Amino acid sequence: MLGSFTRLLSGALLVSLTSLSMIAATPAQAQDSKVLKVGTLKLIHGISAYFYEKFVPAGYTVEVIPFESPTDGKNAVLTGTVDTCIHGIAAFILGAAAGEPVVIVANANNGGMAIMAGVNSGIKTIKDMKGKKVAIWPGSTQEAVILERLRMEGMTIKDIQPIRLQFSDMAGALARGDVDAYVGAEPAGGITLANGTGVLVEYPYSTQIGPLNMILSASQKAVKENPARIKLVVDMHKRAVDHAMANQSQIVDMAVAKLGQQRRSVELAVPNVELAWKIDDVFMQRATAYTKLMHENKQIRQVIDLNQFVTKQFQ
């Protein structure tokens, strides 16, 4: 009898403690739901995320989480670490082709790429890179682009010495002579031009891909289960992009403040960056060309149907 009473009392106490725990957690959870967590890369063409706070809905706050790698940004979306992320479209295609539940909810950037060579390297064209050490970030949009540019010049990746290097290290590596050239992302190109350690080989936009570079992604789960929340972010993104492109001096100021770069470097980089948000016919044509190109380069095993991985519902 006493044992039954003890078990009953213990059960009641457990229920009470569980209830109290749930009640105590509710305010924190509610508060956390009012924080819109957005990821972006530590690059000028991902700078629009830092303008979101100008257009945040009443009652919400924005937390910007920077990433070094496009893949890390995409993975953060899939794990729910962030609501959305600005990152390269190549990382998105790699994920989608592998069956990952990721979706494009807006465009983010055109441009922002640059092929730079050391000032004393003798490299003036793509063909001049034959046998040279060229820094490339694997899985990036830049990797897809340089593979195509090499093909267009009758070359392959075997004709150069590819060096695995993250974007933020490229300008420094070129300045030290660790590499002869790099296929980079702004502000690296601006830094190299500003410090006089390198020259522009080309802005690689002559492929069928054009200047398409970065997108705004979300998980399929978030789009399905909480579309209103994703719409809040996309609406901020659209307004932030339009504002920044209409006030490009503010892009310079923001990049100096958030990326810690010298003003002159940023000023040289900004003209090579077009922030964007529209998913239009041109975007779809370029994105489709990307998937076909990555398949031809054996970066993915099959061409994905972009209509299954791109949504225009927030446009």
Within this chain, do residues 221 and 303 fall inside the same structural domain, yes or no?
yes
Mean pLDDT of the 160-173 span: 96
**3-state SS assignment for residue 280:** coil
Note whether residue 162 is domain-resident. Answer: yes
Within this chain, do residues 298 and 174 fall inside the same structural domain, yes or no?
no
pLDDT for residue 286 is more than 70: yes
pLDDT for residue 13 is more than 70: no
List b or e across 171-210, with b for residues whose CB sees 16 or more CB atoms inside 10 angstroms: bbbbbeebbbbbbbbbbbbbbbbbbebbbebeebbebebb
**C-beta atoms surrounding 40 within 10 Å:** 26
Within this chain, do residues 136 and 253 fall inside the same structural domain, yes or no?
no
pLDDT for residue 113 is more than 90: yes
Within this chain, do residues 228 and 86 fall inside the same structural domain, yes or no?
yes
Taking the C-alpha atoms of residue 192 and residue 76, their distance in angstroms, rounded to an integer, is 30
The dihedrals phi and psi of 303, each to the nearest 5 degrees, come to -75, 130
pLDDT for residue 27 is more than 90: no
- Which two tokens mark 158? 């075997």
**C-beta atoms surrounding 77 within 10 Å:** 28
pLDDT for residue 79 is more than 50: yes
Within this chain, do residues 166 and 141 fall inside the same structural domain, yes or no?
yes
Tell me which residue range forms the domain holding 93: 34-111+211-308
User: pLDDT confidence of 9, banded at 50, 70, 90?
Assistant: very low
pLDDT at 298: 87
User: pLDDT confidence of 17, banded at 50, 70, 90?
Assistant: very low
Q: Which of 5-9, 34-38, 202-206 has the lowest mean pLDDT?
A: 5-9
pLDDT for residue 22 is more than 70: no
pLDDT for residue 235 is more than 90: yes
Domain count within the chain:
2
Mean pLDDT of the 275-281 span: 98
pTM: 0.85
Structural domain ending residue among the three candidates 169, 202, 235: 202
Higher pLDDT, 5 or 72: 72
Note whether residue 21 is domain-resident. Answer: no
